[in-house]
Amino acid sequence: MNKRKLGIFIVFIVTVCLNIQAQGTQKLRINEVLVVNKENFQDDYGIHSAWIEIFNTSFASVNLSGCFLTNDKDNPTKYPIPKGDVMTLVRSRQHALFWADGKPNRGTFHISFTLDPDKDNYIALYDSNGKTLIDEVIVPAGQIADHSWAREEDGSATWVRKGSGINSYVTPSTNNMTLDKNEKIEKFKIHDAAGLGMTITAMSVVFIGLILLYLSFKFVGNISVRLGKRNAMRVHGITDKQQAKEQGFGKRSGEEFAAISMAMHEYLDDVHDIEDMIITINKVKRTYSPWSSKIYTLRETPRK
């Protein structure tokens, strides 16, 4: 019976792990493809080859090992991404770049097929079971050299051609949207060139913060005074609030607070009067050890 329960538990753990892995890979997206590479990014052999970029849209690391890349709908397992390579672990919101050079013997990121610039290129990413489609894209024919077919922003649904114009760059292994300037700052410079709005905003934040602090301290102080009055009434056995108010319970004069503060100061700092007529002798206890005694190293001359 125990072996059966253990087996069920192991199967459950394996199923959960596989499910987590499957959910993680479903967050992967084919992000950018460059078909004609003449003067663009070079691979680790210094060769200009077509490449495919995959983006991890999740906020957790996802391992590509065991997944499949293909350019054939009838053969979803055309290129199995090898296991055991630490570089296949794609960090959160990061990219992985595969070279479509048809030479998988050059390494993990060199796939077994190439891309044809004269026709539409179908590219798909499948899960490790070879059946679950993660993402796919059709790159139109007639791609311009050193121009990529990419999502407008990382993981977005809109595909555009990049490689020319403002904010339109080929970006292998990095974000598809590259901004040369901060639009919010530029708008702020136009609408508030003198900085008057920024000054008013900053001072308003400071004063509002001070007002909130004042109100909070006042609120806490009132609560403390009420608790003090209630405790004083409880000690003296008084339940009538009017009677307590007439007797002044919970109220202390400045002299009383000063005396309490002095008493606490003397208690905490151990302050006492100096007594000249009393001498206190404290015995110093030292541990005796014969190993450090000099009497065993002296010779008696002449000997008795």
- Cα distance between residue 32 and residue 175, in whole Å: 10
Q: What is the DSSP letter of 75?
A: -
CA dihedral 7, 9, 11, 15 (to 10 degrees): 180
Give residue-wise pLDDT tens across range 88-133. Answer: 999 999 999 999 999 999 999 999 999 999 999 999 999 999 999 9
CA 169-99-45 angle, 5° bins:
100
Was domain 2-180 assigned CATH 2.60.40.1260? yes
Q: How many CA atoms lie within 13 A of 141 on its CB side?
A: 4
Enumerate the domain spans of the chain.
2-180, 196-291
Mean model confidence pLDDT for the chain: 83
Cα–chain center distance at 210: 32
CA 181-184-189 angle, 5° bins:
90
What's the whole-number mean pLDDT along residues 290-296? 61
pLDDT of residue 148: 96
8 A C-beta contact, residue 126 and residue 132: yes
Sequence-separated (6 or more) residues with CB below 8 Å from residue 217: none
Give residue-wise pLDDT tens across range 48-73. Answer: 999 999 999 999 999 999 999 999 99
Q: Is the pLDDT of residue 16 over 50?
A: no
- Cα distance between residue 303 and residue 18, in whole Å: 91
Q: Which ranges of 145-195 would DSSP assign to H, the alpha helix? A: 183-191
Pick from 31, 53, 18: nearest CA to 127? 18
- Cα distance between residue 212 and residue 263, in whole Å: 34
Q: When comparing pLDDT for 26 and 253, which is higher? A: 26
For residue 157, what are the CA distances in angstroms to 29, 141, 150? 10, 20, 10
Give residue-wise pLDDT tens across range 244-273. Answer: 676 666 566 778 778 888 888 877 776 555
